[in-house]
Structure 1
Amino acid sequence: MPDKPSILVPLRVLEGESIPEGIPELLTNAHVVLLGYHVVPDQTATDQARYQFEDQANRRLDDFSAILEHAGATVESQLVFTHDGQTTIDRVTDERDCLAVLIPNATRPVENVLVAIRGVIGVDRFARLVAGLFATVDVDVTLYHVAGEDETDADMETLLDGVATRLSEDGVSSDAIDIQISREGSPQEMIVDTSDNYDAVVMGESDPSVTTFLFGMTADQVAKQFLGPVFVIQHGELDDAEETDTE
């Protein structure tokens, strides 16, 4: 059985965010790093906010951890009061060696997953995530690629066949793996359009910061329009950045 992939699940823990319906079951085979964070105004010290709200926030995190553990996930939680939520998510993803960040939109029981492959970068992370989550459950996996102008059919087949072979070696049934290629439209637009037929999306971001996805245009195009859970795989090394969190 593949190792449980580490997935960061960020929640604005004091702003009413919770674990949406279907997410515990989706993460049954995951090791969840549950990040509860609260963005503090610049003029307020993070230590002051922690003194006021730490107990309340930790109670909520404990409740969410219990829900995920009941579904089968292993969970470690971390509470952060910060002036910069984006930097915090990047840092914790890097520190905890998470394969991906989950945008935890609600979902029905997952029957099929769209895995949007952009290129050879990050393929190992894609394979570890998909095999770890879905090798032991009855879920269809579609490997999807939007071709660039210079890509030949042979290039695309080599790329996707290689990913399919790796998934099969890692325990995903070959009968559950499908390959789909598109040559029309931008990758973001095509992923949004294609995702309508799926219960969850796995995709990467070429920018080193996963929060470009979480807080930027890609999130609007995919996570908001798709409305289901999106796993965002980070491809590159994070740049060092200063932040003012208190742990």
Structure 2
Amino acid sequence: MPDRPSILIPVRVLEGESIPEGVPELLTNAHVVLLGYHVVPDQTATDQARYQFEDQATRRLNDFTAILEHAGATVESQLVFTHDGQTTIDRVTDEHDCLAVLIPNATRPIENVLVAVRGIVGVDRFVRLVSGLFATLDVNITLYHVAEEDETDADVETLLDGVATRLSDEGLSSDAIDIQISREGTPQEMIVDVSDSYDAIVMGESDPSVSTFLFGMTANQVAKQFLGPVFVIQHGELDDAEETDNE
């Protein structure tokens, strides 16, 4: 069985965010890095916020941990009071070598997963994530690519067939893997257009900052319109960034 993939779930722990319905079952085979964070105004010291809210935040984080562990995931949690939520998410993702960040929208039981493959960059992470999460489950995987003008069908089929072979080698049934190619529109538009038939999306982001996807326009186009969980695979190394979190 493939190793458990490490998935970061960021939760604004004091702002009413929680673990939505269906997400714990989606992460049965995952190692979850549960990041509970609270963004503190610049004029407020993080130590002061921690002193005031740590007990409340810790209780909520413990509740979420118990829910995920009951579903089968292994969990390590971290509570951060910070002035910069995006930088915190990037840093914790890097520190724990997480394969992806999960935008944890609610989901129904997982039957069909759309895996949007952009190119050869990050394919190792795609294979590790998809095989780790779904190799032991009865799930259909669609490998999806929006082709550029200079890409031939043969080139794209070679790319996706290679990914499918690697997934099969890692334990997924070849009968459960499908390939789909589109040629119109932007990748984000096309992913949203075809997503109605799927219960979860796995996709990458060329920008090395996962949080750019998480909080930017791409997230609005995909996660908000799709309304289901989206795994955002990180490509490459994060830039070193200074931050003043109190942990």
Residue 153 of structure 1, CA deviation: 1.2
Q: Count the aligned residue pairs.
A: 247
Q: Which residue in the other structure is 2:83 paired with?
A: 83
Post-superposition Cα deviations, 1:29-60, rounded to whole Å, max 9, x if no partner, equal 00000000000000000010000001110111
Quick one: distance in 2 between partners of 1:84 and 1:155? 42
Quick one: distance in 2 between partners of 1:91 and 1:70? 27
Residue 236 of structure 1, CA deviation: 1.7
Q: SS state of the match for residue 145, structure 1? A: strand
Residue 154 of structure 1, CA deviation: 1.3
Q: Which residue in the other structure is 1:176 paired with?
A: 176
Q: Which residue in the other structure is 2:27 paired with?
A: 27
Mapping 1:48-197, distance limit 5 Å: 48-197=48-197
Quick one: distance in 1 between partners of 2:155 and 2:43? 53
Q: SS state of the match for residue 181, structure 1? A: strand
Give 1:87's aligned amino acid. T
Quick one: distance in 1 between partners of 2:239 and 2:162? 30
Quick one: distance in 2 between partners of 1:137 and 1:188? 27
Give 1:208's aligned amino acid. P
Residue 234 of structure 1, CA deviation: 0.5
Runs of 4+ in 1 over 2 A off after TM superposition: none
Identity %: 88
RMSD: 0.4
Q: SS state of the match for residue 101, structure 1? A: strand
Give 1:182's aligned amino acid. S
Matched, 1:46 2:46: yes
Quick one: distance in 2 between partners of 1:237 and 1:70? 33
Q: SS state of the match for residue 113, structure 1? A: strand
Quick one: distance in 1 between partners of 2:237 and 2:91? 11
Give 1:164's aligned amino acid. A
Q: SS state of the match for residue 159, structure 2? A: helix
Residue 94 of structure 1, CA deviation: 0.2
Residue 15 of structure 1, CA deviation: 0.3
Q: SS state of the match for residue 105, structure 2? A: coil
Quick one: distance in 1 between partners of 2:159 and 2:83? 41
Quick one: distance in 2 between partners of 1:196 and 1:212? 24
Quick one: distance in 2 between partners of 1:44 and 1:109? 42
Give 1:30's aligned amino acid. A
Quick one: distance in 2 between partners of 1:161 and 1:201? 19
Post-superposition Cα deviations, 1:134-175, rounded to whole Å, max 9, x if no partner, equal 000000000000000110111101100000000000000000
Residue 244 of structure 1, CA deviation: 1.2
Residue 196 of structure 1, CA deviation: 1.2
- Consecutive unaligned residues of structure 2, counting only runs of 5 or more, are none
Quick one: distance in 2 between partners of 1:50 and 1:97? 26
- Consecutive unaligned residues of structure 1, counting only runs of 5 or more, are none
Q: SS state of the match for residue 47, structure 1? A: helix
| TM-score calculated relative to the size of structure 2 | 0.99
| TM-score calculated relative to the size of structure 1 | 0.99
Give 1:134's aligned amino acid. F
Residue 214 of structure 1, CA deviation: 0.4
Give 1:27's aligned amino acid. L
Quick one: distance in 1 between partners of 2:96 and 2:206? 20
Q: SS state of the match for residue 196, structure 1? A: helix
Q: SS state of the match for residue 62, structure 1? A: helix
